[in-house]
Amino acid sequence: MNRPPAVLWIAVVLLLLVPTAAGRLLLDLAGGLLLTLLALPLILSGLGWIGWKLLQSRLIICSACGATGFKGSPVCGVCGTPFAAGVDGPGASSVASTPASDCTIDVIAQDVDSDS
């Protein structure tokens, strides 16, 4: 029962080693299949990333409840708060009152005793 597979493998190896048209066709086919298998996940993930970015650009986040809705709708679908123009993105409601460039943080230098 072990003979037929060995003969088959030898035939395939001979087909690949001896430069014949069938061997070249087999090698080209294997190379194309390998290339397709390697490139397909990259292409699919790129398309998925583009689709995700496109979807993200059309979404708006409610400033009252944080639910996600489409930009075309006038009010939030969850809580009914009207979407204000220019308020989108996470954390926009808390930052809108005071810009970060206007805030100052006072830092006071203190000596720390090292030999205590």
Shortest separation between residue 66's beta carbon and Zn ion, angstroms: 7
Report whether 58 contacts 47 (CB < 8 A).
no
Q: Which is nearer to Zn ion, 60 or 76 (CB)?
A: 76
Q: Which is nearer to Zn ion, 8 or 79 (CB)?
A: 79
Beta strands in 1-116 (DSSP E): 59-61, 68-70
Rounded Cα gap, residues 72 and 64, in angstroms: 18
Shortest separation between residue 82's beta carbon and Zn ion, angstroms: 10
C-alpha of 20 from chain center: 44
Residues binding Zn ion (CB under 5 A) = 62, 64-65, 67, 76, 78-79, 81
**What are the counts of helices (DSSP H) followed by strands (DSSP E) for the chain?**
3, 2
Shortest separation between residue 38's beta carbon and Zn ion, angstroms: 45
Shortest separation between residue 92's beta carbon and Zn ion, angstroms: 13
Q: Which is nearer to Zn ion, 12 or 84 (CB)?
A: 84
Amino acid at 107: V
Q: Which is nearer to Zn ion, 19 or 74 (CB)?
A: 74
